[in-house]
Amino acid sequence: MGSAKLNIIRVSVETVFVEEKSSIEYNRYFFYYTVTISNDGLVPVQLVSRHWIITDANEEVFEVKGLGVVGEQPLIQSHESYTYTSGTEINTPVGSMRGSYQMVSEDGTAFDAEIPIFILSMPRTLH
């Protein structure tokens, strides 16, 4: 059986601008992002590490690599999902994030699960 059917990971993200953690006058814009990682494959997988690529509107790129997410290396059973919330700060009101999770399936196969690009955007306010 091909491993393509064994390891099917779906990643979805929701973002929210956090005004109370931002300092607009100092070009600091803080966002929470909530990620749901769904294991649509046939075997349990463990999230081992992450690699984020964060880009602001000035095309400044920041990379973040590290073990696990929010201090955990979750084991995600087949047809189950794992959700967590974290945060990031950028220097412009709009930016984007993308990346990958490094995963290991139950049989020891290592693979990357892509995190599709998503937008960080401060809502426009009318005065």
Q: Please give the model's pTM, rounded to 2 decimal places.
A: 0.91
Q: Mean pLDDT, the chain, as a whole number?
A: 93
Name residues whose C-beta falls within 8 Å of residue 20's C-beta, 6 or more positions apart in sequence.
Answer: none
Exposed e or buried b for every residue in 103-116, given b needs 16+ CB within 10 A? bbbbeeeeeebebe
The string of pLDDT tens digits covering residues 114-124 is 999 999 999 98
User: Is residue 126 scored above 50 in pLDDT?
Assistant: no
Can you tell me the distance from the alpha carbon of 47 to that of 76, in angstroms, rounded to the nearest whole number?
Answer: 8
State residue 5's pLDDT score. 63
Domain edges within the chain: 3-121
User: Is residue 86 scored above 70 in pLDDT?
Assistant: yes
Query: What is the DSSP-derived secondary structure letter of residue 65?
Result: E
Q: Which tokens is 77 given? A: 């059973």
Which amino acid would we find at residue 80?
E
The string of pLDDT tens digits covering residues 37-84 is 999 999 999 999 999 999 999 999 999 999 999 999 999 999 999 999
Percent of the chain with pLDDT over 70: 94
Domain 3-121: CATH architecture, name and number where available: Sandwich (2.60)
Contact 105, 6 (CB under 8 A): yes
Contact 41, 7 (CB under 8 A): yes
User: Is residue 7 scored above 90 in pLDDT?
Assistant: no
